[in-house]
Chains A and B, each alone.
Chain A
Amino acid sequence: DTAVSQTPKYLVTQMGNDKSIKCEQNLGHDTMYWYKQDSKKFLKIMFSYNNKELIINETVPNRFSPKSPDKAHLNLHINSLELGDSAVYFCASSQFRGGDYGYTFGSGTRLTVV
């Protein structure tokens, strides 16, 4: 069983479109995250939810909106996609807030905006 699963794995779309990425974890973790990894492999946190509550919202354009219907799911919706949004987006979860024992990452969604 996949611990943290993301869909879709690849997403190619045109500028200006709206798209969503879904994430689910079956580890029973309380905290979930969205990370963006750019072409230089730099991992940067975007959002974090703890038990459906938003606890971290980094400097991310408001075109990005996370939604957590329950603590096992964290989705990411992106409006009006731009070329600079092209990256790999990772969902992650951790047992404790702050990831004291590390994160479990999903397999990633490679977003290409053309």
Chain B
Amino acid sequence: QKEVEQNSGPLSVPEGAIASLNCTYSDRGSQSFFWYRQYSGKSPELIMFIYSNGDKEDGRFTAQLNKASQYVSLLIRDSQPSDSATYLCAVFTSGGSYIPTFGRGTSLIVHP
């Protein structure tokens, strides 16, 4: 059973702080990793994807991948109240499967 685990939260951070969201996965052969943001009552929206070990930055967002430890993180710098949402981690595994496994998401609350 391929699993993707996320702490459901909520993670509460003050405005301007760095929010750190974590995701662990069970399949060592996993190859591509995605972060989606989902506002309450809305659809998931792709924020970033990462394939290689290390960091990938896009504006205030940084994805970090460590395949040896089987985790992927999303850092949000200078957090804003508008970042308050649920963040979903999705992992594509190996073996020709075209089905990503989604985590259940972490709820982030950025308070003024």
Chain B's interface: helix, strand, loop or mixed, by majority?
Answer: strand
- Residues on A with C-beta less than 8 A from B100 are 45, 99
Q: Is B32 an interface residue (CB 8 A)?
A: yes
Given A48-B98, A55-B98 in contact, is the A41-B43 Cβ separation under 8 Å? no
CA of A40 to CA of B100 in the docked complex: distance in angstroms? 18
Interface size on B, residues (CB 8 A): 19
Give the contact stretch, choosing among A14-22, A64-72, A74-82, A101-109: A101-109
Which of A41, A56, A98 has a CB less than 8 Å from the CB of B104?
A: A41
Chain A, residue nearest B92 (CB):
A98
Q: Is the CB of B98 within 8 A of A97?
A: yes
Alpha-carbon distance A100/B51, docked complex (angstroms): 10
| B102: contacting residue among A42, A48, A100, A101, CB under 8 A | A42
Check B104 against A42 for contact (C-beta < 8 Å): yes
Nearest 7 CB-CB pairs, A to B?
A98-B98, A102-B46, A105-B43, A43-B102, A105-B44, A108-B43, A107-B43
Which residues of A are at the interface with B, using a C-beta cutoff of 8 A?
Answer: 40-45, 48, 55-56, 58, 90, 97-108
9 A-B pairs with CB atoms under 8 Å apart are A43-B102, A45-B99, A55-B98, A90-B43, A98-B98, A100-B32, A102-B46, A105-B43, A108-B43
